[in-house]
Amino acid sequence: MQHVNANDGVSLPAALDVSKVSHFYGKQQALSGVSFSIAAGHFTVLLGLNGAGKTTLLSLISHLYNTRQGSIRIFGHDISREPGEALRRLGIVFQARTLDLDLSVYQNLSYHASLHGIGREQAMERIKTLLAQVNMSDRLYDKARSLSGGQMRRIEIVRALLHRPPLLLLDEATVGLDIQSRAEILATIRELVAADGISVFWATHLIDEVEEGDNVVILHKGRVLADGTVDDVVRSAGTDGIRQAFVALTGLAPAEGAP
Ligand SMILES: Nc1ncnc2c1ncn2[C@@H]1O[C@H](COP(=O)(O)OP(=O)(O)OP(=O)(O)O)[C@@H](O)[C@H]1O
């Protein structure tokens, strides 16, 4: 799917285009004909209850699994045919914690920068800029082990952005965090979208992480039930808000993060 740039009428590829993707674990079908696309420079929430298929979809987008049915394009580059070009444009924060706890923040980040072929000086500059953006400048030489869960997540976000990917995927990035840390992580990511124009695909089971101006893809039992702006989804469900739209579409109550 293409998006038209309002300024000059030029057609730009979508940040992410998923077309007719299905996935099986043995005989069990985890995704069924999933299609949607997300526009560049937006915050898009992938909303689905536990078991909806979010991690499976993110594993296909990040090429951990091969896409056997359907296609996935990142800024126009097919993940199966041009994995290098597609993955260069992608940053990922996985659900499980992946920092090396015995290394410092700097060591964790500089090691990753070198994997991307970023030189020492350039890496330091980039690390400092990003740490400032996530309010972690003062922790550069601290051991990862000494950070709180929310601080570790912020370092993982920095690590995912070192190579300047225009698309960032996050899988349940706030799981296990207290309410304040959750809010801080979400605010940080929203600021990155606004300041740097990156596209974010934010997978969550928590409906209170969706805000009015967001785009949303509702995934349920491996199928996309609705996608578009929150307004579009609410309007087409004929309800008063996103919670009611979720109930109308799935027949189930949404998961709430706040008590
Ligand atoms: N490795 C696997 N082998 C078999 N079945 C799997 C495997 N991984 C996931 N599934 C199944 O596929 C379906 C989708 O799971 P998936 O983890 O993608 O959902 P999810 O939306 O990410 O859920 P959660 O938020 O709980 O991680 C579920 O029914 C799950 O049990």
* Residue-wise burial string across 203-225, b where 16 or more C-beta atoms lie within 10 A, e elsewhere: bbbbbbbbeeebbbbbbbebebb
Q: How close is the Cα of 18 to the center of ligand 1, in Å?
A: 19
* 66 band by pLDDT with thresholds 50, 70 and 90: very high
Q: How close is the Cα of 6 to the center of ligand 1, in Å?
A: 39
Query: For 124-235, where are the E strands, in sequence order?
Result: 167-171, 199-204, 215-220, 223-229
ipTM for the assembly: 0.96
State the chain's mean pLDDT as an integer. 93
Q: Whose CA is nearest to atom 24 of ligand 1?
A: 50
243: helix, strand or coil: helix
Instruction: Give the pLDDT confidence of 167-201 residue by residue, as tens digits.
Output: 999 999 999 888 888 999 999 999 988 888 999 99
Classified by CATH at the fold level, domain 16-98+165-250 comes out as Rossmann fold (3.40.50)
| Domain residue extents for the chain | 16-98+165-250
Q: How close is the Cα of 135 to the center of ligand 1, in Å?
A: 34
Above 70 in pLDDT, residue 3? no
pTM score over 0.90 = yes
* Residue-wise burial string across 105-120, b where 16 or more C-beta atoms lie within 10 A, e elsewhere: bbebbbebbeeeebee
Q: Per the structure block, which two tokens stand in for 65?
A: 């699994």
For residue 133, give the amino acid letter: Q
Q: Whose CA is nearest to atom 28 of ligand 1?
A: 51
Above 80 in pLDDT, residue 259? no
Q: In the prediction, which pLDDT does 247 show?
A: 95
